[in-house]
Amino acid sequence: MAMILRRELRHANRVGLLGDVHADLNHVLAATGMLNHKGIKLVVQLGDFGFVWNGPGREATLDRLDQFLHSRAQTLLFLDGNHEDFDLLESFPISSDGVRWIRDYIGHLPRGYRTRLISGHSLAVLGGANSIDVGYRQRGSSWWEQEQITDEDDLARLGTQHADVLLSHDAPLHVPALDATLRSADKYWPPRSLAYARAGRRMFHKGFLQVRPQLSIGGHYHQFIDATVDYELPDGAFTSRVIVLDEGGTFRGNCAILTLPTLDIEVFDVEGRPYPERDDDDEQE
């Protein structure tokens, strides 16, 4: 039997990142192939992976992706978002390394996962988000209550110890460019849907404040955001660079490379073209 040679997050100097992919195999093959060309052997997908979902062809699709990764000596880890079959996902056990291995080279990073990187930085994971379109979904077939971040399970596992890097699906509060976009879309959703989605973001923000990351990277909102935000708290202030990666598609900022010793990040589209540089006008008090 062939030996499994997975790439470990804690040993990586550079990590590839992907925003929402929604089970788009062609996009994931293109994105991971592009990142491989840039020397990236470990990729983390930030939720709404979508491939762990009951339906025809699921096993064959996961097998094809796993074989593709194996042939390039890459490992793909993913967070859960709000487009996952949580009953199926949770049927896979968490291994001794803290990862749910779905295939030899495809693994899920559970909420509360932590590691110390080779750079010395600490990293934490907090997946999950509330679906704003919950009113159009069916429990157990297109919606699972486990998408919601909870105090007693998820935030307790995350803990209150500082993390230099927080990988997530949702994004914290008080990010001006993101908040403006969400306000402009409010008219398209009923009040109950808005309240549900906002409650999920507030719960994520609570976890964000528990760890006070220097760098927070997520997806979920299908747009690219890069902002430096100052947070004032009763026991002191901290500054976080908040990055939201776009969903999959050509000419979208869905792919990135994080250099861990410096926490520098480069953003690309799926073909490897650099995405527009950050806008420091997004800074806020």
What's the pLDDT score for residue 276? 85
Q: CA of 172: how far to CAs of 85, 169, 215, 220, in Å?
A: 24, 10, 11, 12
Strand partners, 255: 18, 268
Coil/strand/helix, residue 126: strand
Per-residue pLDDT tens for 206-243? 999 999 999 999 999 999 999 999 999 999 999 999 99
This prediction has a pTM of 0.95
**First CA to last CA across the chain, in angstroms?**
57
Q: What is the CA radius of gyration of the chain?
A: 18
- How wide is the angle at C-alpha 131 spanned by C-alphas 130 and 135, nearest 5°? 125
Per-residue pLDDT tens for 153-167? 999 999 999 999 999
Per-residue pLDDT tens for 75-95? 999 999 999 999 999 999 999
C-alpha to C-alpha distance for 85 and 82, rounded to whole angstroms: 9
Residue that has been written with the tokens 């490897």 in this structure: 272
| Mean of all residue pLDDT scores within the chain | 95
C-alpha to C-alpha distance for 108 and 45, rounded to whole angstroms: 9
Coil/strand/helix, residue 11: helix
What the block records as the tokens of 242 is 């908040």
φ, ψ for residue 85 (rounded to 5)? -85, 95
Instruction: Characterize the bridge pairing of strands 100-103 and 106-108.
Output: antiparallel
What's the pLDDT score for residue 28? 98
Cβ–Cβ under 8 Å, residues 137 and 245 = no
Which CATH code, of 3.20.20.70, 3.40.228.10, 3.60.21.10, 1.10.150.120, is assigned to 12-276? 3.60.21.10
Domain ranges of the chain: 12-276
C-alpha to C-alpha distance for 276 and 259, rounded to whole angstroms: 18
Amino acid identity at 109: L
Residues 174-190: what's their mean pLDDT?
96
C-alpha to C-alpha distance for 19 and 129, rounded to whole angstroms: 14
Q: Is the pLDDT of residue 190 over 60?
A: yes
Per-residue pLDDT tens for 266-281? 999 999 999 985 444 4
Cβ–Cβ under 8 Å, residues 30 and 272 = no
